[in-house]
Structure 1
Amino acid sequence: MTTLLLAAHDGSSIKDATLKALTPALALGDDIHVLVAGDGVAAAAAEAAKLKGVSRVLTAEAPALGHGLAEPLAALIVALAPAYSAVLAPATSTFKNAVPRAAALLDVMQISDITAVLAPDTFERPTYAGNALITVRSTDPIKLITVRTASFRATLVEDRPPAPIEAVAVPTDPGLSTFVGDVFSTADRPELTSARVVVSGGRALGSEEQFKALLLPLADRLGAAVGASRAAVDAGYAPNDWQVGQTGKAVSPDLYVAVGISGAIQHLAGMKDAKVIVAINKDGEAPIFQVADYGLVGDLFELVPELTKALG
């Protein structure tokens, strides 16, 4: 049977998380349908139609779907899922909210945060904050899966004739939640989960003012996204959407610079897939140095400005 991939998008284009989730979808088979749900998704659907292995794009448009509400999206997944052997979605906040609801309604288990496809019914996923990997085999007729996108390379858009695009019926909105409003944070820097370089700060920076004064110039020099440990976010040094870790975002950049971060298990779970890790910390015994490729032991208030200056 065919695999259904739920697309993360902004209405006008497909997000990088979708391209990464497509990689394990292709490992399940080369016949992929992509669902683009929202309100005004024609441009994103046209882009999805050129993805490798995609034989059909399904569009579902309704005002409730445009706001990513969990209940109407779950109802849509339930309506479509019986035609597929597997339904995959990137582990974004929208799909982590909707897919478990759909799994409950279908009476199947959800397989969360997979990092590898071992067989059509067997998957690898992290547990214990990423300190162990478990192998999960499902006998359910429909596999509902979320994908840890930091573990996969993106499958790029192909220059090929587009797959057919077909509108599907949208189930009646269950009406269990109501959209109130959006509050967006805007930034000129790359998106944290898809950035090639990430500069993150911890509680050792001491205050929001020092966090910004030290890290933002360094991030600007490197063209980097800015992240933070949970401790820094809890202390009010950085906004919630900058948090990297088990309860934040998982990243896998080419370069990860950890400034004043001790390396608690919770944080390592979100960034240890980075290809090169640089740690700056005054405590030479900090756990972060156990995973770092390069380490600077010293006062971050001296080392970070020197590093920024050296980068020109």
Structure 2
Amino acid sequence: MTALVLVEHDGGALKDATLPAVTAATKLGGDVHLLVAGEGVGAVAEAAAKIAGVAKVLVADGAPYVHQLPEAVAPLVVGLMGDFDAFVAPATSRGKNVAPRVAALLDVMQLSEILSVEGPDSFTRPIYAGNAIATVQSTDAKKVITVRGTAFEKAATEGGSAEIAAVAAGEEAATARFVSAEVSKSERPELTGAKIVVSGGRALQNGENFSSLIEPLADKLGAAVGASRAAVDAGYVPNDYQVGQTGKIVAPEVYIAIGISGAIQHLAGMKDSKVIVAINKDEDAPIFQVADVGLVGDLFKVVPELTEKL
């Protein structure tokens, strides 16, 4: 089964989210080709060609893809699918934006956020906010798949020597146009790829407390900063900090949850972390049911002391 994998990139560098998707695609049992869509993406294509297990890199370099609008990328993918049995995308914001459009244009169902490949047409995926795992089988001739990055090992970024081939660029998206992008920049590690994540919840009460308590601790640990949906909805931090079923899925080596009760939708985004540390004054908080280390106490006293001792 030959698979086409959508490469996640920022225009200048390949993102790690691509690597688990490549691993998942290799488990389908056939050749793996990558698709790089953008403008001036030669460096991304070269990096993609070095990924182990990749046979070929297709590059669509042109103005229609400069902002990677899904309305432009999806028709490009569909035009290439005559040569492929499966389209695989990381379950990122971009992947989740492109894949459903591809599935609709191909008139097939989408297999969302798979956790494993059981066979050429059988997969597992989470349901009920990750509280159950379903095994699903697709009878569609063409598979459209998104991959939960925390469920697969990252493919090696060296060792490959894939052929790079250009594909013709399509037309500008007719139904959408790029207006602007507000991208937060931070010197901290990216949330989905960090080894340590420090997250805060609604118990922090306001954005000032979040900044003064969570961020210094994260900086001491070299960690990324996350938040619960309640903290984001309350306006303490921006949306891109959100961890959970409706936010980002993370699986760091250490996840520190501060003032987070442990709602199901939040647990769905972080329960695969290797070590979970919870700090909460409510000893009956659900977060303690999944925590490896739990500390019952007032976060306004505990967190400054912890930060000071590090």
State the secondary structure of the residue aligned to 2:289: helix
* 8 Å contact from structure 2 (residues 261, 280) kept in 1: yes
How much does 1:62 deviate?
2.1
2-structure distance, mates of 1:145, 1:111: 5
Q: Does 1:12 align with 2:12?
A: yes
CA distance in 2, matches of 1:170, 1:107: 23
State the Cα distance separating 1:174 from its structure 2 match. Answer: 4.1
Indicate conservation of the 8 Å contact 2:25/2:32, yes or no: yes
Q: 1:63 offset after TM fit, Å?
A: 1.9
Is there any run of 5+ residues in structure 2 with no aligned partner, and where? none
Show the counterpart of 1:138: 138
Deviations 1:197-220 (A, max 9, x none): 000000000110001100011000
**2:191 maps to which residue?**
192
Structure 2 distance, partners of 1:7, 1:35, is 6
Counterpart CA distance in 2 for 1:220 and 1:174 is: 41
**Structure 1: distance between partners of 2:124 and 2:259:** 32
Q: Distance in 2 between matches of 1:233 and 1:12?
A: 30
Is residue 304 from structure 1 mapped to residue 303 from structure 2 by the alignment? yes
TM-score (norm 1): 0.97
Once the two structures are TM-superposed, the CA of residue 158 in structure 1 deviates from its matched residue by: 2.1
Partner of 1:206: 205
| Deviation, structure 1 residue 13 | 2.0
Going from structure 1 to structure 2, the CA distance change for 1:186 and 1:174 (only over 3 Å counts) comes to closer
AA in 1 matched with 2:229? R
Distance 2:267 2:63 in 1: 38
Q: Counterpart in 2 of 1:44?
A: 44
Query: 2:27 matched to which residue of 1?
Result: 27
1:30 Cα deviation after fit? 4.9
How far 1:244 moved relative to its partner? 0.4
Task: Note the aligned Cα RMSD (angstroms).
Answer: 1.0
3-state secondary structure, aligned to 2:211: helix
> What is the match of residue 129 of structure 1?
129
Q: CA deviation at 1:173?
A: 2.9
1:123, distance to aligned residue in structure 2 (A) = 0.5
Give the count of matched residue pairs: 310
Q: Which 4+ stretches in 1 moved above 4 angstroms?
A: none
Which residue is 2:100 aligned to?
100
- Counterpart residue number, 1:279: 278
Instruction: Tell me how far apart the structure 2 counterparts of residues 226 and 209 of structure 1 sit (CA, whole Å).
Output: 15
- Cα deviations by residue, 1:40-73 (Å, 9 ceiling, x for unpaired): 1100100111111111100002223121211111
Identity %: 61
In the TM superposition, what is the alpha-carbon distance from 1:184 to its structure 2 partner? 1.5
Letter in 1 for 2:67: H
Structure 1: state its 5+ residue gaps.
none
CA contact (8 A) 1:11 1:42 kept: no
Which residues in structure 2 correspond to 1:90-239 (within 5 Å)? 90-160=90-160, 162-239=161-238
How far, CA to CA, are the matches of 2:66 and 2:129 in structure 1? 33
Partners in 1 of 2:303 and 2:67 — Cα distance?
A: 40
One-letter amino acid of the counterpart of residue 87, structure 1: F
For 2:217 and 2:156, the matched residues in 1 are separated by 30
- One-letter identity of the residue aligned with 2:216: P
Cα drift, residue 11 of structure 1: 2.2
Equivalent residue letter for 1:195 = A
CA–CA separation in structure 1 for the residues paired with 2:138 and 2:166: 31
Matched, 1:268 2:267: yes
Q: Deviations over 1:10-37 (max 9, x none)?
A: 2222111001111111111252100011
- Report the AA paired with residue 293 of structure 1: D
Q: Which residue of 2 aligns with 1:79?
A: 79
More displaced 10-residue stretch of structure 1: 4-13 or 41-50: 4-13
Asked whether 1:250 is paired with 2:249, we answer: yes
